[in-house]
Structure 1
Amino acid sequence: MGFLDPNATQFTGTVGDFTYYRLPGIDRIIVRRKGGVSKKRIKKAPEFERTRQNNVEFSGCAKVAAYIHDQLHPVARLADYNVFPPLTAIMKKIQLKCDTGNRGERNIRISRYRFLLEGFQLNRAHPFGGIIRQPLHASIDRERGTATIEIPPLMPGMNLFSPWKASYYRLVFSFGPIQDFMHDPQWDYQRCPYPRSRESAETPWVHLTQPTDRQTITMQLPHAAAEDETLMLAIGIQMGSPEPDGGIWGNAKQGAGMVLRVG
Structure 2
Amino acid sequence: MKKKSPITRSRYFNDPVFERSRENNTEFTRAAKANRVLRHAFKPGMLNKADRYVSGRLTKTMFRILQTDPINERGERRVPQGVLNFLGGFNFNRDTNLQTILRAPYSITFNQEAMLATISIPSFIPRAMIDTESDANAFMLTAMAASLHFEKESYPVEPVQTDLLDMSLQQHEDLQLQLPVIGHQPDHSVVVALGIEFFQSALGQIKPLDKKHNALAVVKVF
Which range, TM-score by smaller chain? 0.7 to 0.9
1:52-63 alignment runs, 5 A limit: 52-63=22-33
1:250 corresponds to which residue?
208
Gaps of 5+ in 1: 1-34, 182-192
Change over 3 Å in CA distance of 1:162–1:102 after alignment to 2: closer
Corresponding residue to 2:164 among 188, 205, 208: 205
Give yes or no for contact 2:148–2:190 (8 Å, CA) kept in 1.
yes
Give the letter for the 2:77 counterpart: R
Give the letter for the 2:148 counterpart: I
Q: Deviations over 1:46-92 (max 9, x none)?
A: 24343233212211111211211222234434134623333223322
2:145 corresponds to which residue?
175
**Aligned partners of 2:202 and 2:43: how far apart in 1?**
24
- By percentage of residues, which structure has more helix? 2
Q: Deviations over 1:22-41 (max 9, x none)?
A: xxxxxxxxxxxxx9995x83
2:59 corresponds to which residue?
88
Deviates more, 1:87-96 or 1:100-109: 100-109
Q: CA deviation at 1:100?
A: 4.7
**Aligned partners of 1:37 and 1:140: how far apart in 2?**
57
Give the letter for the 1:114 counterpart: L
1:258 match: secondary structure:
strand
**Aligned partners of 1:37 and 1:163: how far apart in 2?**
54
2:153 corresponds to which residue?
194
Deviates more, 1:156-165 or 1:71-80: 71-80
1:154 match: secondary structure:
coil
Query: 1:97 and 2:68 equivalent?
Result: yes
Give yes or no for contact 2:50–2:92 (8 Å, CA) kept in 1.
yes
Give yes or no for contact 1:175–1:233 (8 Å, CA) kept in 2.
yes
Change over 3 Å in CA distance of 1:76–1:243 after alignment to 2: same
Q: CA deviation at 1:147?
A: 0.6
Count of residues paired in the alignment: 214
Change over 3 Å in CA distance of 1:160–1:154 after alignment to 2: farther
Gaps of 5+ in 2: none
Change over 3 Å in CA distance of 1:58–1:43 after alignment to 2: farther
- TM-score normalised to structure 2 length: 0.81
Give the letter for the 1:166 counterpart: A
Q: Alignment identity in percent?
A: 24
Give yes or no for contact 2:160–2:178 (8 Å, CA) kept in 1.
no
Give yes or no for contact 1:99–1:107 (8 Å, CA) kept in 2.
no
**Aligned partners of 1:66 and 1:37: how far apart in 2?**
34
1:101-116 alignment runs, 5 A limit: 101=72, 103-110=74-81, 113-116=83-86
Query: Superposition RMSD on alpha carbons, in Å?
Result: 2.8
Corresponding residue to 1:44 among 6, 10, 20: 10
Query: 1:76 and 2:34 equivalent?
Result: no
1:262 corresponds to which residue?
221
Give the letter for the 2:59 counterpart: T
**Aligned partners of 2:55 and 2:156: how far apart in 1?**
22
1:150 corresponds to which residue?
120
**Aligned partners of 2:78 and 2:8: how far apart in 1?**
23
Query: 1:118 and 2:88 equivalent?
Result: yes
- TM-score normalised to structure 1 length: 0.70
Corresponding residue to 1:221 among 163, 178, 181: 181
